[in-house]
C-alpha cells in the first residue's frame, strides 16, 4: 500500500511539473520557423477576411527554389497594434508539397481576431533524388 501511494504521489508531482506552465497560464515560448532563410525559398502573399463569422487568412505560396518540397507547414500569427505576436497557429499546406516554381493557394483559420496577421513558412522537407543527391529541377 505504501509503495503504491508513493508511486502515485511521484507521478502526480511529475505531471504537475510538466503541466505547470500550461495549467497556470504562464506565457509559452513563441514559435519560430524551423528553417532559417525560408524567405529565399518561398514567396508569400496573404489577406485576412471574415469567413462564417471567423477570421481566415488566405493567400498564395510560391516555391522559388529549384527543388521540389513536401510537408509544408505555415505559421500564422495574430499581431497586436504594435506588431507583437499575441497568438499563433501552425497548419499544413493543402496538398502538402510544391514543385519548383509552383504556386499554391492556402486558407487557414486565423488564431483569433487581431489588428493584423503575419504568415511565415514554419517547416518543410526538400525532396532529394533517389541517389540522395539534391538535384534541382527547373
Task: Give tens-digit pLDDT for 104-127.
Answer: 999 999 999 999 999 999 999 999
Task: Give tens-digit pLDDT for 92-110.
Answer: 999 979 999 999 999 999 9
Task: Give tens-digit pLDDT for 14-40.
Answer: 334 343 333 333 457 999 999 999 999
User: What's the pLDDT at 138?
Assistant: 52
Question: How far is it, in rounded angstroms, from Cα 35 to Cα 94?
Answer: 20
Question: Which CATH architecture fits 38-126?
Answer: Sandwich (2.60)
Q: Are 114 and 57 in contact (CB under 8 A)?
A: no
C-alpha cell at 15: 505531471
Question: Edge-to-edge strands of the sheet including 103-109?
Answer: 42-51, 54-63, 103-109
Q: Count Cα neighbours of 51 within 13 Å in the Cβ-side half-sphere.
A: 11
How does residue 53 score in pLDDT terms, banded at 50, 70 and 90?
confident
The answer to whether the predicted template modeling score (pTM) of the entire model surpasses 0.85 is no
Q: Is 100 helix (H, G, I), strand (E, B) or coil?
A: coil
Count Cβ atoms within 10 A of the Cβ of residue 35 and give its class: 0-12 exposed, 13-18 middle, 19 or more buried: middle
Count Cβ atoms within 10 A of the Cβ of residue 73 and give its class: 0-12 exposed, 13-18 middle, 19 or more buried: middle
Judge whether residue 71 has pLDDT over 70.
yes
Average pLDDT over residues 41-51: 95
Amino acid at each position: 500500500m505504501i509503495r503504491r501511494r508513493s508511486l502515485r504521489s511521484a507521478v502526480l508531482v511529475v505531471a504537475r511539473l510538466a503541466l505547470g506552465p500550461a495549467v497556470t497560464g504562464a506565457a509559452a515560448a513563441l514559435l519560430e520557423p524551423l528553417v532559417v532563410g525560408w524567405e529565399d525559398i518561398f514567396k508569400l502573399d496573404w489577406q485576412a477576411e471574415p469567413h462564417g463569422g471567423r477570421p481566415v487568412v488566405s493567400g498564395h505560396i510560391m516555391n522559388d527554389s529549384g527543388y521540389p518540397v513536401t510537408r509544408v507547414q505555415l505559421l500564422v500569427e495574430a499581431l497586436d497594434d504594435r506588431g507583437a505576436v499575441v497568438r499563433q497557429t501552425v497548419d499544413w499546406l493543402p496538398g502538402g508539397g510544391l514543385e519548383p516554381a509552383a504556386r499554391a493557394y492556402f486558407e487557414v483559420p486565423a488564431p483569433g481576431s487581431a489588428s493584423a496577421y503575419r504568415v511565415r513558412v514554419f517547416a518543410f522537407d526538400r525532396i532529394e533524388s533517389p541517389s540522395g543527391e539534391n538535384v534541382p529541377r527547373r
